[in-house]
Structure 1
Amino acid sequence: MSGELDPRLLTRAREVVAGITGFREDAIAAEAVDRVMRSELARGRTPADLLGELLYPSSSLATVLVKAILVGETYFFRHPEHFRFLSHEAVPAVLQRGSLALRGWSAGCASGEETYSLAACLQASVPHGFPVEVLGTDIHEASLEAARRATYGTWSRRESAPRLFPLYTETGEREVTILPVVRRITTFAQANLLAPLPERFGRFDFILCRNVLTYFTPAARDAVISLLSRTLNPGGWLFLGAVEVDRVPAGMVREGPPELQAFRLLTPEELNARAAAASRAAAASRPSVTPVRRPPPPVAAPAREVAVAPPPPPTRLHLNALERIEEGDEVGASSVLEALVRQAPDYLPGLLELALLRERSGAREGAVPLMRALRTRAERLPPDQLVDGPEALPARFYQASADAYLNQGALE
C-alpha cells in the first residue's frame, strides 16, 4: 500500500509504544511503526479501526507495534568485563556476607543469551552444589519462548565475546544447546521494567540491565533504576550499560572503574554510618557561641493551655517508614505512610511509597487511586522541579512512575 498515512494514526501508534516501553520518541523506529500500520491497512482495516484499537494499550495491535520496535541485539558473554568482575569481585563479596544462595536477574533479556551467560558465570564462581538461581525477564513473550528453547545459532556466539564459562554444547554444525546444569537454575518470565517486579520473584544479589535504558526517556530511566534497586538485597550489585547513566543511583556506590558501570546497594549498616558521619560533620561546622548569662525571668502563672508540638516533617516520617520496611515491618510502615499521606497529601514521595507498598502486598485496588493522585499532583509541577524527599527527584520522575504503573495495569 503506497501513499501518505494519516498522521494521527502514526502519532497515536508512537504514543502507545512510548507509554508501554518508556522509549524516547527518537528511539522508536518510524519505519517499523509505518510498516506495521501499512500492513494492517493492507488487510482491509480502516484508519478509524486502527485508531479505535489503539485506545487500548493492551490490544493485539499494541503488542505487534512493541515487537516491531524492539532491538533485541544480544549474544553470549556480551561485555565480558562484567562477567569477569562478577566472578572475581562481586560474587566473593556477596559470599563473604554469609549469603546462603546467589540470585541473579537479567532484566530485559531478549532471547536469553545474557540470562544463560549470567547463570553460567555464577555457577562457575561458587563451590560445587552451592544454590544459584537466575531469572530472565522481557516485555516480549515471543523472545522468552525462544529463550526457553535454549538452542542458538552462530549469531549468538561472537568472537568479540569469548566463552568465559561452561555454557553450551554443540549439537549441529551451526547450532548449540545450553547445558542442562545451566538450564536447571534458569527461569524466564514476562515483565515490563516500568512496573514493579511481582513480589513472588523475591530479591536479588545481582541485576544485569544493560543496553536497554539507553532507549528510555530520562524520567523512565530513573523510574526503572529506582524499581531495580528496590529488588536488590542489601549489598547487592547492579550492572548497567556503558553510557546509560551519568551519576551514581541513590543509595548506591560505584564499584570498579567508571566505565564498568557497576553499582552496589549500601547496607543498612553503611547507611547508618554515613548518616552518623554527616551528622558529626554538620555539628563540627556549626560556629561555637558562648551563651550570654541573663537574669532568670519572673515566674509566670501556670498556663491554662499546653502548646501542641507541630507534626514531624514529611521526610522524617518517610524515612521512618523506610526503616520499618527494611526491618520487615510492612504493617507498621503502612500505618506510618497512611498518616503521612493524610498529613501531607501533596508529598509525592509518600504517595508513591504507599502505592508501591500496597502493590507488593497484593492490594492493587488500594494502589491505583494513590497512583492516580500522584499523577494528578505531579502534572501540576514543572517537569524538572526537584521534589523534596529522602532523595531529590524531579516531578517528571513521579509522573512517569504513575503513568508506567497505570499503563501496566491496562496491560494486565
Structure 2
Amino acid sequence: MTVPGGLDPLLFARARQLVSERTGFRDDAIAPESLERVVRAELARGRTLVDLLTDLQNPETPFAQTVVRASLVGETYFYRHPEHFRFVARDGVPGVLRRNPSRLRGWSAGCATGEEAYSLASCLMASAPPGMPVEVLGTDLNEASLAHARRATYGTWSRRDSGPHLFPLYRPTGEREVVILEGVRNVTSFAVTNLMGPLPDLFGHFEFILCRNVLTYFTPAAREVAIGHIVRALAPGGYLFLGTVEVDRVPEGLVRVGPPELQAFHRPETPLMPAKAPAPRPARSGPPRMTPPPVASPPPEPPRSPSQFHLEALERIEQGDVPRASLMLEALVRQFPDYLPGLLELALLRERNGARAAAYPLMRAVHARAAKLPPDQLVEGPECLPARFYKASADAYLNQGAAE
C-alpha cells in the first residue's frame, strides 16, 4: 500500500480497512490522497495519531464517517448514459404499463448529488400516461451529497454534451445555474442508505432501478452482495440498469434485454424456472455399443461490435492492466479505423502514459472523422455521444498543444 506524505502506515491501513468494510470498495479504488487530506486536517487541529486510530475503531465517530465520505466517488451529470433513458421511455414504461400498475416508481442507487435521480424522474413523468403518479428515490452513503441534491440547484458541470437534455428537467436561474422544475422535484426524494445492506422494507419495490458506475469500485464479493440487495427491490416486470463494465453475467432471476453493452436487465413476472436435469436413460441389455456418438460442431460466434472490444479494453484499464488495454485498443482502431470512441480512448491513454507524440495523430484522426458527420449524429460506443463531442474534444486537445 502506498502511504502518501510519509504519514503513519498503521493509520492508513486501518482507514482503508474501514472504507472497504463500509463501502465494499476494492483497496486500490480508495485514493490515498483523499485519506491524506482528511488526516492532515485533523492533525492540524491538534489531534494525535492515537486519537485518530482510536476513532477509526468505531465507524460511527465523526472522523471515521469523514474518512468514508472522502473516499466516495461523486462523478455524475444529467442524462448520463442517455441510451438508458431512451430505453426506459421507448420500451420500459410501455412494458410495465401492460401490468396496469397504479404508479411508476424508480430508484437511483448511489445517486451522489442527485442528477441521475432527477433525470429518471423527468423521464418517467414524460413517459407515463397523464395523471399516473411517479415516485423516484435517490440514495447514497454521503449525506452532504444528498443535501446538495435536495437544494436542486446545479451548475454547468452537471450539464454536458454527453448527456443531452431529453425531457423537461430544469429551468435557468442565471447565466450558469439551473434549478430543477418543481414538478420533478416534488416526485423525487432522497435518503442515506448503504448498498452493502438491504434497502429498508419501508421503501418498497421499484419498476426501474439505476445503479450505474457505482459497482465498478467494489470488490467481486461486495459486488455480488450489493446486486443481491438491489435485485430484491426490483418489482416483477421491472428493469435494472447497470454501468457498462460492472458485471460480466446476468444477475440471478433476471434476463438481459437489449444489446449486451446496454447492461439492461428485466425481471419476468413469472419467476424463471431452473433447468431440469435430463432423465436417466434406461439400462441397455447386451454388450455396449462401441461407436462413438457424433460430435456436433459448435455454432459460430456472432461477429463482435467495436463497442464490445472497447468495453473489454475498459475492463483491462479498470483492472490496472494498461499495457494489455493499449494493445487491445490498437487492434481495435486497426480493425475499425472510423470508430471514434476507440480512437479517442487510445489517444487519451497514450497522453496519460506520456506519449504525446503518439497521441497527436490519433486526435487529428478523431477531428477529421468527426468533422465529416452531422454534429448531432450519435456515435455508437460505451456511451452514445454526439459527433460534436468528439470534434470538441479533439479541438481542445489540439489547440492546447498549439498553445504550448
Q: Could you state the TM-score of these two structures normalised by the residue count of structure 2?
A: 0.68
Q: Which residue of 2 aligns with 1:32?
A: 34
Picking from 68, 71, 75, the partner of 2:70 is: 68
Partner of 2:391: none
SS at the partner of 1:134? strand
Equivalents in 2 of 1:4, 1:179: separation in Å? 48
1:304-323 to 2 correspondences below 5 Å: none
Separation in 2, partners of 1:140, 1:270: 35
Within the candidate set 259, 278, 284, 1:282 is matched to: 278
- Which of 21, 37, 47 is residue 23 of structure 2 equivalent to? 21
Aligned residues: 283
Equivalent residue, structure 2, for 1:259: 261
Higher relative contact order, chain-length normalized (CA < 8 Å, sep 6+): 1
**Amino acid in structure 2 at the alignment position of 1:49:** D
Aligned counterparts of 1:166 and 1:206: Cα–Cα separation in 2: 19
For residue 282 of structure 1, report the CA deviation from its aligned partner: 2.0
Shift of 1:265: 1.6
Residue type of the partner of 1:287? R
Are 1:130 and 2:132 an aligned pair? yes
In 2, distance between residues paired with 1:58 and 1:195? 16
Residue in 1 that maps onto 2:102: 100
- Does the 8 A contact of 2:253 with 2:271 survive in 1? no
2:58 pairs, out of 44, 56, 59, with 56
CA distance in 2, matches of 1:289, 1:80: 58
What's the RMSD between the two structures over aligned residues?
1.7
- Could you list the runs of 4 or more consecutive aligned residues of structure 1 that deviate by over 6 angstroms after TM superposition? none
- Give, in angstroms, the shift of residue 204 of structure 1: 0.6
% identity of equivalent residues: 63
**Inter-partner Cα distance in structure 1 for 2:282 and 2:130:** 60
User: What does the per-residue CA deviation read over 1:276-324, in whole Å, with 9 as the maximum and x for residues that have no partner?
Assistant: xx33x623xx313489xxxxxxxxxxxxxxxxxxxxxxxxxxxxxxxxx
CA distance in 1, matches of 2:18, 2:114: 26
Partners of 1:81 and 1:115 in 2: CA distance: 16
| Cα shift at 1:34 | 1.5
Q: 1:194 aligns with which of 193, 196, 204?
A: 196
Shift of 1:32: 0.9
| Residue 204 to residue 46, structure 1, CA distance change in 2 (3 Å) | same
**Partner of 1:203 in structure 2?**
205
Residue by residue over 1:78-128, the C-alpha shift from the partner in whole angstroms, topping out at 9 and shown as x without a partner, is 000000001111111111122221110000000000000000000101111
2:11/2:53 contact within 8 Å kept = yes
The CA distance in 1 between the partners of 2:80 and 2:5, in whole Å, is 41
Partner of 2:119: 117
Q: Deviations over 1:44-75 (max 9, x none)?
A: 11111111111001111111112211220000
Q: Where does 1:308-387 land on structure 2 (aligned, <5 Å)?
A: none
Query: 2:220 corresponds to which residue?
Result: 218
**Paired residue for 1:170, among 152, 172, 184?**
172
Query: 1:127, 1:3 → 2: CA distance?
Result: 58
Provide TM-score, normalisation by structure 1. Answer: 0.67
Instruction: Letter of the 2:278 partner, please give it.
Output: A
Find the residue that maps to 1:282 and give its secondary structure: coil
State the distance in 2 between where 1:92 and 1:123 align. Answer: 13
CA distance in 2, matches of 1:211, 1:170: 28
Report what 2:375 is aligned to: none
Q: 1:124-154 deviations in whole A, cap 9, x for unaligned?
A: 0111111110000010001111101111111
Rate the CA distance shift 1:235–1:38 in 2: closer, same or farther, 3 A: same
One-letter amino acid of the counterpart of residue 200, structure 1: L
Q: What residue identity is the alignment partner of 1:183?
A: R
In the superposition, relative to structure 1, how do residues 8 and 121 fare at CA in structure 2: closer, same or farther (>3 Å)? same
Q: Which amino acid aligns with 2:250?
A: V
> Counterpart amino acid of 1:143?
S
Which residue matches 1:339? none
Give the residue type in structure 1 aligned to 2:195.
L
Aligned residue type for 2:112:
A
Specify the code of the residue in structure 2 equivalent to 1:85.
Answer: F
Secondary structure at the residue paired with 2:278? helix
Q: Which residue of 2 aligns with 1:143?
A: 145
Alpha-carbon distance, 1:205 to partner: 0.6
**Whole-angstrom distance in 2 between the partners of 1:282 and 1:206:** 36
Please say if residues 93 and 124 of structure 2, whose CA atoms lie closer than 8 Å, have aligned partners that are also in contact.
yes
Residue 372 of structure 2 aligns with which residue? none
Distance 1:111 1:6 in 2: 32
